Structure 1
Amino acid sequence: MDSTPADTSASAETSTTNHPMAPHNDIEAFHQVLKSSRRILALCGAGLSASSGLPTFRGAGGFWRNYDATQLATVRAFKMDAGIVWLFYSYRRHLALKAEPNMGHRALAALARRNMDFLCLTQNVDNLSQRAEHPSSQLKSLHGSLYDIKCSNESCDWIQKGNFDDPFCAALAPASVDMPNGEPLPLLDPYHRVKHIGEDEIPKCPQCKKGIQRPGVVWFGEDLDANMMMDISAWMRAEPIDLMFVIGTSAQVYPAASYIDKARKRGARIVTINPEAEDEAEMYKIKPGDFAFGRDAAECLPILLEPVIGKPDEDGEFGMP
């Protein structure tokens, strides 16, 4: 995830469109822009799922037990201790299975159903956008899924889609425990000793019989799926882009973050939705004509998208505007 292919297309030229200045958090002004926008792109991060109760594992407090969570998301960590990496991902699988899509996921799914020219790029691996019935043709999971399993042998192409076993295997059962009365899970206590899980306790690949099974997510240092990247590039080059949402992400992980500048060069106004979006340290990113809403995506997206998706009913479903 640390490299991005060069954009050599002639369509990546800087847009000459002049956008009128508007207050960065003016909802009425944004609604006018939205109603005149056809091709819309979104980049979503862990903040989108925060209201569903899923930890982001980035920034302050981004630790799991006594491990920096981002350091567990590497091939090196898996080779050193596959058991502890699998415990971390089993815990995340269990949390995501218990979670429900929030109104942010549902609003984006409704926008996709209303607008065939909307494409959503998600860095999330929690499957909540899919469970919100976001059309699969308009959703690109940049970093894979917690529920895809593949072989750790780099020369083997075995992959299993949609494995929702919880626990994934018997040795990982401690990660799938629900404690009574909100008591803390012992696994999360760094001082609680965890039984070491050997590679012989993790299922082997059924195809090559050599590698052990691993989460089908993109770890730091790994490349994103090449076919998916080509599909995204083709969509971005096809026509100018009117609007881009940057939702619940610090936009620090590449190549995902590179899509912001690429969309801007294709004419897009950028709309940032993040609790920190209006902090002084973040406002320098806001260009003339852009918008920034320092709010939670689950609360903010239904309001921002209302002219297109309408108001939600009692079941959280969006009717026609």
Structure 2
Amino acid sequence: MFEAIVSLCLLSDPAVCRDVLIPGYESISVAECDAQLRANPPDLKLFLNEEPHGMAACAPVGDTLRFQQAARGVFVHRGAISDANPENEGDVANVAFVIGKSAVAVIDSGGSRRVSEQIYRAVRSETGLPVRYVVLTHMHPDHVLGASLFAQAGAEIVGHSGLARGLSDRSDAYMNRFQDLIGAAGFIGTQVVMPDIGVEKMLDLDLGDRVLHLRSWPNGHSINDLTVGDPTSGILFTGDLMFHEYTPALDGSVLGWQTVLTELQALPYHTIMPGHGGPILDWPDSAGPLNAYLALLISDTRSAIVRGDSLGDAVRVIGQSQAADWDLFDQFNPRNATVAFTELEWE
């Protein structure tokens, strides 16, 4: 198999370049790929952040992300239990795709364009149907920074009605942080794209004899969490409203997240894909550790406030009894404690 690529180079350092996938030109032979490029040349202006070096060309298909089949037509990938770095290139969040009879939906898009290229190739290895939708479960960069490739392939980007505002407010910070973590070379081609469709409450996406149920949630893990339910398989894609192994990251309301998690457990699904860990867990049994962690955050924070602890002192003790139960605990728990303390000191 062959695909179209173009070499992109940093505007700030033209010696740093990367071959970037141009979606839509996949072919069984280089001659067929070349013929498609001649008949329908790509608009290289779509790659706004870097300078194209030379023309688009055909090359053998590159690396593909590894997915496992969780159910008929459902494929899931487990991101690394790690922060983004040059080795994983931003592949630290779980990703899935669901195949219907007429179209495909991708759920979250990875933390860089390079990761999304590997997702795209994995989809193409399973089906030639169009990727009609990319559903972003919330605004955090490890879940959204690969979406531009699918937008360029013609997919509609779908998210919570508050996603556009969240991305507008934080996109520069997310881009700068992930470029620093991954490295400039690996980050080439990465862009933030805004959603085409905002979900106020609920929305169904029809993939052809397979309908996905999308639901937006109030302030919890973040201010724009969205879940995707697939009644055909019984799988609920929770995004970061559920964590497994990886320390939960609180960027919204600890009380709100506890309430949302209770509601999630009542939904009619027997299996979930969390935002991290898993990638497939029994539901609602697997909610226990996160329930316990959120309850601990709340109780420890309230105790610190009653004692009159300063924020600095409180952060050193809140949640610490679960330090051995979660990976990356020292990286995320101090921020969680800060957010919880800031919320609860005024209740």
TM value normalised by structure 1: 0.27
Ranked by relative contact order (alpha carbons within 8 Å, sequence separation 6 or more), the top structure is: 1
More strand by share: 2
